[in-house]
Structure 1
Amino acid sequence: MHDGQLDVDDAHAQRLIAREFPHLADAALSRVRGAGTVNAVFRVGEEVSARFPLDRTDAAVLENEASALSAFAAASTVAAPRPVGVGTGDAAYPWAWSLQTWIPGEVADPFRFAASAELADDLAELIRALRRAQVGERVFDGRGRGGELSDHDDWMAHCLSQSTGIVDTDRVATLWGRLRAVPSAGPHVMSHRDLTPANLLVSDGRLAGVLDGGGFGPADRALDLVAAWHLFDAPARARLREAVGASDAEWHRGAAWALQQAMGLVWYYETSNPTMAQLGRSTVSRLLGDQEITG
């Protein structure tokens, strides 16, 4: 999926896990197939998952993620992975990798659960709980989404140039031009920062787990609202908004972040990860069809 990507096969992963964590040497290992774009993920036995980054990563980065994972799990209203350990690579896979606890559940489907009032309620409860976590002296780290919308103008221009024939680029450009100018809706709050369907686990129609909490930290209070357009139709979105208590500015900034994220998916993963590309297209379609957002 990425230039310079380094994959690890099942046998190699099992050797590295056995070397670093001997108590797991005999645990059954199976690759987790899905829409993930950052790690190759394996289930190790019944209670552990191994995550091998597809791009260069050092141990310090994964140790920081482990700290954020623990903080996220403590704040979350549902189960979330906790760190188990960080492993080192070898000549064939020279990067650090990590073990986390395994969280059961099925990945939230953005079409099957589009009208789910229950899931909208669960996500609103999660977002409110994350916002109650204390920011303290921490500040936005400047990485990715969650700071100034206008910082992403060049990226959006590039995405638009790559997306001709995939989405209605004229309407997307017009919408971005309006949303990028929406002022801040308040101080930064603690945020998951990537509440996409691939990171949300469902059981019996209810939110059962949240993955990838390693980015947990201060960010634009609207950022976690991206889930509204990634997952839901208009009535379920309205339910989530009311439960969160989002102001007009906050809601429109959430739409802006959802548009920025979706436009990065529609073309980049068009052939390498069709599931992610489809998510991007469906999110853009929901945004363009949202009359409040489009005006």
Structure 2
Amino acid sequence: MHSDQVHIDADIVREMIFDQFPEYRHERIVQLGAIGTVNAIFRIGSRVAARFPLRAMEPVECANMLRNEAAAMTEFAAHSPFACPRPIGIGQPGPLYPLPWAMQSWIEGDVATHDGLAASTTFALDIAKLIASLRAADTHGRRFDGQGRGGSLPDHDDWMSICFKNSEGLLDVSRLRRIWARLRELPPSGLDVMSHRDLIPANLLVRGDRLVGVLDSGSFGPADPALDLVAAWHLFDSRSAPPGTCSPVP
């Protein structure tokens, strides 16, 4: 819950769908219990999802953000070997919800979890195929845009200081500070490459141990190649790696 959170519920969504996307007015609307806190997500029938931003902002700023995300999603889809949502349209603010919002296609699959996938070579190869395909996309001279992860680690010093302070009494903060002091001095791992930029489990859909879909591609863009390791950090075990390739940081 955010202090500036905008209220949205299924009844409001139903009214906005009826007014702005009447072709879906008879579809069942279900709010999803999403992990993220940026958008409220509603499933519209069996083929569509609606995403409603939760943080208050200027409508013009929100509309620009959604248009940029739609463009990134379209570019991502052109290079991804796996299914991904496609933009359908951008809804307008209404009397009960003050911001623009997005309609996109729905992708079937189960959210990836560590259980059952940690040692899966098949899944690891699917992730490698995804990353390699995205990196083959041309950056067209673009560089990391400074938003979120994927750039210079020292840029995150202020945020890390807050995290360390809030973790006192919960974690070994002294050790974490030593680790951060070492990590922030590392050089870039290479030239920026095109990256999904958020390959966390919630954005990876599987069927069995096969990757079948990739969500939340609206941030697709250039970033440090090391950012693609996010999927490995969340999902794979060092036990499945060759001896000597994984070791704890002292």
Q: TM-score, normalised by structure 2?
A: 0.92
The sequence identity of aligned pairs, in percent, is 49
Contact 1:192 1:215 in 2 (8 A): yes
Structure 2 unmatched runs, 5+? none
Aligned to 1:135: 139
The residue type paired with residue 223 of structure 2 is A
1:76-155 matches, within 5 Å, as 76-155=80-159
Q: Within 2, Cα distance between the matches of 1:143 and 1:224?
A: 16
Contact 2:34 2:41 in 1 (8 A): no
Shift of residue 234 of structure 1?
Answer: 0.6
Q: Secondary structure at the match of 2:199?
A: coil
1:149-188 matches, within 5 Å, as 149-188=153-192
Shift of residue 104 of structure 1?
Answer: 0.3
Q: Within 1, Cα distance between the matches of 2:192 and 2:150?
A: 9
In angstroms, what is the RMSD of aligned CA positions? Answer: 1.8
Shift of residue 55 of structure 1?
Answer: 1.2
Q: TM-score, normalised by structure 1?
A: 0.79
Shift of residue 116 of structure 1?
Answer: 2.1
The residue type paired with residue 181 of structure 1 is E
Structure 1 unmatched runs, 5+? 240-289
Q: Secondary structure at the match of 2:218?
A: helix
Shift of residue 165 of structure 1?
Answer: 3.2
The residue type paired with residue 108 of structure 2 is P
Shift of residue 146 of structure 1?
Answer: 1.1
1:1-295 matches, within 5 Å, as 1-56=1-56, 58-236=62-240, 292=247, 294=249
Contact 1:228 1:237 in 2 (8 A): no
Q: Within 2, Cα distance between the matches of 1:152 and 1:236?
A: 31
Shift of residue 237 of structure 1?
Answer: 5.6
Contact 2:73 2:220 in 1 (8 A): yes
Contact 1:29 1:43 in 2 (8 A): yes
Contact 1:108 1:200 in 2 (8 A): yes
Q: Secondary structure at the match of 2:247?
A: helix
The residue type paired with residue 171 of structure 2 is V
Aligned length: 245
Contact 1:120 1:237 in 2 (8 A): no
Q: Secondary structure at the match of 2:89?
A: strand
Q: Within 2, Cα distance between the matches of 1:200 and 1:235?
A: 22
